[in-house]
Amino acid sequence: MSIGLDRPLAARHRLANFLGLVVLVGVLVIVPEAKASDFKIYEGFKTLARVFYEVNQRFVEEPDNSEMVQGAVRGMLNTLDPHSSFMTVEEMNEFQQESSGSFTGVGVEISTRDQILTVVAPIDGTPAAKAGMRSGDQIISIDEKPTKDMSVMEAVKAIRGPKGSKVVFGIYRPGQDKIITMTIIRDFIPLRSVRSEELAPGIGYIHITNFQGDTAQEVEKAIRTLGAPKPMTGLVLDLRNDPGGLLDQSIRVSGLFMGPVQVVETRGRVEDQNEVYTSEQDAILSLKCPIVVLVNEGSASASEIVAGAMQDYGRAVILGAKTFGKGSVQSVVRLPDGSGLRLTTARFYTPSGRAIQSEGITPDVVVPSLLPPNIKAIRETDLERHLLGANEVREDRKPDKDSEAADEDEDTFSGRKTDDKTVGRSSGSNKDRKSGRKSSDDEEGPFLDKPLYEMTLAERLEVDKQLSQALKMLQNGKVQSHFTGPPVSVRPRG
């Protein structure tokens, strides 16, 4: 067959432009000594170009070449991991807007589990939380459009819209027989990332809901407010259901509690992704002030970085449920047409060298999360194509075993032993941290008729066992700061 002889002229020009692009890409990736595997890649481009040609040549209607190229890119990234994605110009602008601290929508974190859109967690105080959306809910439809085969980015685009407009969800809640129809009015979601209050005389509480551009500044303000006029005698730092956010903010927040120390390390396949990140400011809170950090299955990424660093250095006791395990770095690249590429380029490691990816952070004191009956929280290991953790084999992956919780009468936490492989933590892996009574992450708690953020402090302490145990431990002197990480010289970053 003579390629293109019976093609309309405009279509041939489009094909020529596409083939030119393929050639250009090939030139960009050529190295002086090409390996055999490189030629297989170039052969793949030939196949892609041929498919593009055949579709333009034979499809029953004239296709939209722009949509086809975007579809090819999305399909390419869908073979990688759950966090790599393509963003259109509109999606790229929305992503940048969200990173700045606000967007218009319903306020819910979503992911895919078993190819089904699933709620990770609603954001406190948002329309989704007020409507009763829960972690583990499966989103079957959005505005009567089935979500089967819908990507997360496509779902986000469908969920967002003008303030005051409505979006209708079809929700399947495991354990229930019928689909729940949930109509939610979109609103401006000001991602206020930091809330604080006094739990008891001298004991402060800081809740970080996500890490955005002003988070470290707001945490510093909260510390200074809670510490006036008298210094705090204890602090609960709540990172539960915090999906993460900006890496630099997690580093700065860590520095507010520990000063200039190594916070996290990234390691990737490309040399420029290998980096050690160090906080660059003095601690605002006294290093002698005991801290309990609350985490749960919804604590991910930047929140795991903070919790992992504070655990490694013995700066805080970590209490709650094992974290999500999202320990990968996404680099965002703006493409020439204004669209964007979000690509996983490295993994996160705590200062002692523990991998966060898939492993998560196991608390020193395990207290089961308050989950609705028959609901099992999802973690990174539940996501399709997730990057493997250090101790995980995809072909024979076993479910996590339940950890063991510490009894309230346990000995005072006064730091961790140190050996040549760890920094300020007990010898052994996360799975070796065991003490006290046995517990299950699937333990059912009481059914709540309203969300925690709408309750009074007394009501919250009654039903929130993680928070109440943290407060008791601080009040009873069961937590001591034993900061084992001496300040290190700050390594400048370019």
**Active-site residue numbers?**
301, 312, 326
Give residues with Cβ within 8 angstroms of 454, minimum separation 6: none
Q: What does DSSP say about strands 85-87 and 340-349: parallel, antiparallel, or unpaired?
A: antiparallel
- Angstrom CA distances, 121 to 125, 217, 449, stand at 12, 25, 17
Taking alpha carbons only, the member of 197, 244, 223, 193 closest to residue 83 is 244
Q: What is the largest CA-CA distance in the chain?
A: 85
Backbone angles phi, psi at 102, to 5 degrees: -165, 155
Q: Compute how many other C-beta atoms are within 10 angstroms of the C-beta atom of residue 93.
A: 14
DSSP 320: E
Q: H or E element: which one contains 342?
A: strand 340-349
Measured distance CA(116)–CA(112) in Å, rounded: 5
Measured distance CA(368)–CA(444) in Å, rounded: 9
Measured distance CA(298)–CA(122) in Å, rounded: 10
Measured distance CA(473)–CA(407) in Å, rounded: 11
Measured distance CA(129)–CA(454) in Å, rounded: 11
Q: What does DSSP say about strands 275-278 and 291-295: parallel, antiparallel, or unpaired?
A: unpaired
The tokens 């919804």 sit on which residue?
298
What residues pair up with 267 in beta bridges, in sequence order? 347
Q: Compute how many other C-beta atoms are within 10 angstroms of the C-beta atom of residue 464.
A: 23
Measured distance CA(61)–CA(386) in Å, rounded: 37
Backbone angles phi, psi at 16, to 5 degrees: -60, -40
Describe the crossing of helices 9-29 and 36-58 by its angle, rounded to 10 degrees: 170
Length of the chain: 494
Measured distance CA(460)–CA(132) in Å, rounded: 17
Give residues with Cβ within 8 angstroms of 77, minimum separation 6: 84, 85, 86, 341, 343
Tell whether the torsion through CA atoms of 381, 386, 388 and 389 is positive or negative: negative
